[in-house]
Amino acid sequence: MSAKEKLKNDIIVGMHMHLDNNAQAILETVIIKAIQNLDIKELETLPATADDTNQYIMQLFDAKKAPRLSPKTVEFYKATLNEFVSLINKPLNKITESDVAYYLQIKRNGNTNTSLNNLRRNLSAFFTWLRKEKIISENPCDAIEPYTVVEKPIDHMEATDMEMLKKGCSHPRDRALIEFMRSTAMRRGEVPFVKICDIDFRSGKLVIFGEKTQKYRTVFLDNVAVYYIQEYLRHRGVSENSKEPLFTHLRGDKTKVLEVDGVYSSIKDIARRAGMDRRIYPHLFRKTTATNICRRGGSEDAAGEYLGHAPKNVTGKHYTYKGDRYVEQIFHNFVEAV
């Protein structure tokens, strides 16, 4: 890390608790312009002690990287890092490949290879960020090979599972929720942010903000989903122009949004009442929708486009425009109830 970068980062860390993300981004731009033509002599690179170094790095992470990630991702990264640091007890800018290998070897007791790969992925993402910040020169995780994982068949619901699930719906909200999840294939963390007025009830179009991608994308409700959502809204006594959350609590304050845990619990309760002997969870609807798209003749790229996955190829990312009409065509061809 150069002296200029150290100065910039020190100011950002110092102001982090006093500014929101937008103001912080503006501050960083101002600092970069202000120090561009300055010749700053380097006296030190990081604090002297291991504890101070790690605290500084984590403060920098909170100020610069964390605002660009979802709270859940930040929580996973920090849980892994805290455990890693407590075990290795070294400055994060001095970590070696053998340190990472030792940590993963210790964690092999009681963990599956999938869990170990998740820990490795968290550490690798963090050290990649440190490398980009020029705090380290190379990522110590690069030479650590992922653990072998036996690929299981992709979990999904068959048509009979969906029909059985419907039998567990005891309230208009239940049926509206499962039809909504089936049609939109949204992540459960995205559901609480949907307001009634966000839905175009004529076309079924709904523009949402992706929880994971941090981008807007378009999904659709078919006629079946619209019908049951309208039934639910009539039961609630609210109009289609209401700014209330689409899904709310059934007891207490009935205008209070159904949060992420509530979405999970509601679907779990529907499956329990239906007497289903398999696990039903919100993400299963995404997997089922993707599976159905491919079964009905759609490509994996089409499935990824509808689910809001980022394109992996250069052409898809930078050269091929795919607007709402393309997503709508995928919906009508492969997702819409027939």
Rounded to the nearest 10°, the torsion over CA 64, 69, 75, 80 is -70
Residue carrying the six token digits 């599972």: 161
Mean pLDDT of 226-246: 96
pLDDT band (50, 70, 90) for residue 247: very high
pLDDT band (50, 70, 90) for residue 331: confident
Q: Using CA atoms, how far apart are residues 130 and 289, in angstroms rounded to an integer?
A: 38
Q: Using CA atoms, how far apart are residues 194 and 308, in angstroms rounded to an integer?
A: 16
Rounded to the nearest 10°, the torsion over CA 123, 129, 130, 133 is 180
Closest to 219 (Cα-Cα) out of 254, 271, 184, 251: 184
- Give the tens place of pLDDT for each residue, 278-287: 999 999 999 9
Partners of 72 in beta bridges: none
Contact 58, 126 (CB under 8 A): no
Mean pLDDT of 68-93: 91
Mean pLDDT of 107-130: 93
Q: Using CA atoms, how far apart are residues 7 and 60, in angstroms rounded to an integer?
A: 12
Closest to 229 (Cα-Cα) out of 282, 262, 191: 191
Q: Three-class SS of residue 121?
A: helix
pLDDT band (50, 70, 90) for residue 255: very high
Mean pLDDT of 244-251: 95
Mean of all residue pLDDT scores within the chain: 86
* Res 214: pLDDT: 72
Percent of the chain predicted with pLDDT > 70: 89
Q: Where are the alpha helices (DSSP H) in the chain?
A: 3-15, 21-35, 50-60, 71-88, 97-107, 113-132, 159-166, 172-184, 223-236, 260-273, 282-295, 300-307, 314, 324-330
Contact 63, 24 (CB under 8 A): yes
C-alpha distances out from residue 19 to 22, 67, 120, Å? 8, 12, 32
List phi, psi (to 5°) of 195.
-100, 155
- Give the tens place of pLDDT for each residue, 136-190: 999 999 989 999 887 777 888 999 999 999 999 999 999 999 999 999 999 989 9
pLDDT band (50, 70, 90) for residue 312: low
